């Protein structure tokens, strides 16, 4: 049994996330966590809401609420939706937690002691109309790199280039829209990332098993210096973690807060502290996951994120960890994703384009979405959601292949043998061939899951479902029953056991359907099919079962057309 620490990129608090956000971090992380738990490993799966910075303040202002109240409310919304999608976090925390305040201030103090913090007087944009400095996302304008006219002051959403507010062409206030802006001097703290170039380069070079997407982005930013400019880690904002050196005040930094991209990744660590506190555990319990001098030396740490987050997680956050000089756990593997596009365009939270998590759950159960999103995960290139593809794949894979197998087997058994596993008959050559085929396929499925090759794993799982259907079609127990009832009983006994195997294997992808299959078979998920012949005899003769409700209803053309029309214009 190994120990696995898993984190997914923490979502901004400002509103409900769309399906592209979901498949770019949280959902594949959940798949991996569920699989590892099923194989008997010890897993700590953490996520949180990212609550500081301009997005939170702007969203709260728009909602007409104090920012602390708004963040607490939206944390509840995001927690409800993550539960709705069956995301199995061990803890879903908040970057505004006391633990993150203390740790962020602690890291700042350690970095300052190491000579990696500089106090810099700089010019920032000040809005006359708003009476305040406008850092980050408070400023919108045209990207100097790609010409996108809705670029933000921290990063262009279109080309992902990291920006400073002063880089924008024709800047305007995101609060009031005013162009009455001027530059004024203000003092901020900078993390001297450029001093960490050698250490970061050696660390990245050591990660020979990282996906090409992750490594290529990290190297690009490292080699051209884009990600290693000394970066400001404080802001002139009201909402955030107050600037301190550990527990001490920082002279000259009164009224300032840490920059959201400094404190947000530290929440991965703080979230473990929140988890321990929520369960009444001592600090040693979370430190054994994060401190290599306190037991985390044997932990494998995997992060999941969209490609736009890779530079911060391969450069800025590691610079913080390494620069502290303390023995914190660094990430072992970063699984990064390209973008999921929506029906010919991009998903966009800011523009309300696409299907959002709450809307998705309003029209269909989570498993429909989980299966389609994971089986089309944008791993090697961008992927695209279309309603036609969604309808076709759900109907074919979930309804026609898996759902139909369960229905045919259980209903036929009930009609001919009753709702108990029949005892008669002995397996023959067809059953031996199926067992060999399933063994090969299950081992391949395991290999893809362990390598986090999500689309390949989904394809192999689909192939395992298909194998059962092909067996059923080949041996045709409904025909065999007329000539040899005992042989038909054996065939159905194997098929009933196959439903249990399907439930166990499918649970990481479609947990609700898996539970429905187990409930129908009146059994528990009490063991991975390490030995396939044994697994296919787990339900013994005379074991009772019930016919499950329809696992997956087909999506009609009328439903598809209605949804296509309803979601054509975004959230509004």
Per the annotation, where are the binding residues for Zn(2+)?
143, 146, 156, 159
List helix spans (H) across 196-282.
197-205, 212-223, 260-278
Q: Which residues are annotated as a binding site?
A: 143, 146, 156, 159, 349
Reduce the secondary structure of 12-42 to three states and give it as a string: ECCCCCEHHHHHHHHHHHHHHHHHHHHCCCE
DSSP letters spanning 397-439: IIIIIIIHHHHHHHHHHHHHH-SB--------HHHHHHHHHHH
H or E element in which residue 441 lies: helix 429-450
State how far the Cα of 385 lies from the Cα of 224, in Å rounded to an integer: 34
Q: For the chain, what percentages of helix, strand and coil (3-state, to nearest 5) are there?
A: 50, 15, 30
DSSP-derived letter for residue 374 is: H
> Are 57 and 102 within 8 A, CB to CB?
no
DSSP letters spanning 491-554: HHHHHHHHHHHHHHHHTTT-HHHHHHHHHHTT-------SSHHHHTTSS-TT-B--PPPPS-PP
Q: How many CB atoms lie within 10 A of CB 425?
A: 19
**Sign of the dihedral defined by the CA atoms of residues 91, 95, 99, 103, in that order:** positive
**Is 475 exposed, middle or buried, given 0-12, 13-18 or 19+ CB atoms closer than 10 A?**
buried
Q: Which residues are annotated as a binding site for ATP?
A: 349
Q: Phi then psi for 280, rounded to 5 degrees?
A: 65, 30
CA atoms within 13 A on the CB side of 175: 20
DSSP-derived letter for residue 324 is: T
Q: How many CB atoms lie within 10 A of CB 384?
A: 15
Nearest of 56, 21, 240, 258 to residue 138 by alpha carbon: 56
Taking only Cα atoms into account, the Rg of the chain, rounded to an integer number of angstroms, comes to: 27
> Are 40 and 25 within 8 A, CB to CB?
no
Nearest of 523, 535, 543 to residue 422 by alpha carbon: 543
Beta strand 42-49 pairing with 3-8: parallel
Could you give the angle at which helices 485-506 and 511-520 cross, rounded to 10 degrees?
150
């Amino acid at each position: 049994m190994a120990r696995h620490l898993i984190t997914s990129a923490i979502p901004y608090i400002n509103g409900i996330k769309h399906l592209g956000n979901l498949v770019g971090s949280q959902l594949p992380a959940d798949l991996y966590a569920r699989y590892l738990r099923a194989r008997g490993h010890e897993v700590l799966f953490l996520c949180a809401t990212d609550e500081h910075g301009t997005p939170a303040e702007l969203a709260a202002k728009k909602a007409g609420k104090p920012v602390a109240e708004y963040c607490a409310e939206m944390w509840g919304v995001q927690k409800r939706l993550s539960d709705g999608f069956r995301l199995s976090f061990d803890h879903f925390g908040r970057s505004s937690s006391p633990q993150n305040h203390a740790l962020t201030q602690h890291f700042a103090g350690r970095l300052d002691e190491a000579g990696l913090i500089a106090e810099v007087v700089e010019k920032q944009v000040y809005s006359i109309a708003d009476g305040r400095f406008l850092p980050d996302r408070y400023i919108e304008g045209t990207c100097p790199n790609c010409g996108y006219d809705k670029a933000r002051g921290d990063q262009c959403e279109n080309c992902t280039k990291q920006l400073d507010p002063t880089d924008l062409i024709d800047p305007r206030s995101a609060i009031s829209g005013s162009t009455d802006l001027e530059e004024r001097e203000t003092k901020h703290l900078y993390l001297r990332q450029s001093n960490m170039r050698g250490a970061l380069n050696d660390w990245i070079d050591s990660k020979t098993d990282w996906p090409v997407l992750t490594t290529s982005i990290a190297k690009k930013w490292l080699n051209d210096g884009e990600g290693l400019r000394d970066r400001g880690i404080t802001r002139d904002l009201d909402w955030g973690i107050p600037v301190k050196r550990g527990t001490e005040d920082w002279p000259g930094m009164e009224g300032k807060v840490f920059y959201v991209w400094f404190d947000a990744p530290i929440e991965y660590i703080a979230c473990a502290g929140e988890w321990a506190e929520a369960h009444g555990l001592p600090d040693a319990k979370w430190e054994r996951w994060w401190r290599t001098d306190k037991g985390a030396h044997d932990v494998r740490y995997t992060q999941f994120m969209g490609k736009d987050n890779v530079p911060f997680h391969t450069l800025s956050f590691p610079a913080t960890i390494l620069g502290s000089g303390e023995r914190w756990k660094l990430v072992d593997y970063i699984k990064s994703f390209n973008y999921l596009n929506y029906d010919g365009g991009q998903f966009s939270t800011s523009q309300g384009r696409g299907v959002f998590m709450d809307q998705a759950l309003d029209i269909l159960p989570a498993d429909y979405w989980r299966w389609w999103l994971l089986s089309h995960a944008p791993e090697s290139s961008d992927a695209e959601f279309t309603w036609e593809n969604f309808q076709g794949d759900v109907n074919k894979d979930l309804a026609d292949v898996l759902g139909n197998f369960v229905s045919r087997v259980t209903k036929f058994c009930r009609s001919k043998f009753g709702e108990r596993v029949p005892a008669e008959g002995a397996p023959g050559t067809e059953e031996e061939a199926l067992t060999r085929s399933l063994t090969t396929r299950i081992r391949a499925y395991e290999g893809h899951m362990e390598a986090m090759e999500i689309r390949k794993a989904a394809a192999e799982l689909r192939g395992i479902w298909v194998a059962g259907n092909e067996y059923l079609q080949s041996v045709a127990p409904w025909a065999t029953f007329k000539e040899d009832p005992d042989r038909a009983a054996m065939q159905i006994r194997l098929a009933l056991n196959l439903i249990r195997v399907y439930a166990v294997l499918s649970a990481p992808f479609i947990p609700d359907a898996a539970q429905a299959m187990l409930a129908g078979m009146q059994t528990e998920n009490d063991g991975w099919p390490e030995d396939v012949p044994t697994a296919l005899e787990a339900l013994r003769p005379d074991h009772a079962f019930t016919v499950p409700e329809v696992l997956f209803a087909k999506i009609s053309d009328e439903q598809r057309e209605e949804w296509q029309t309803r979601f054509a214009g975004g959230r509004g």
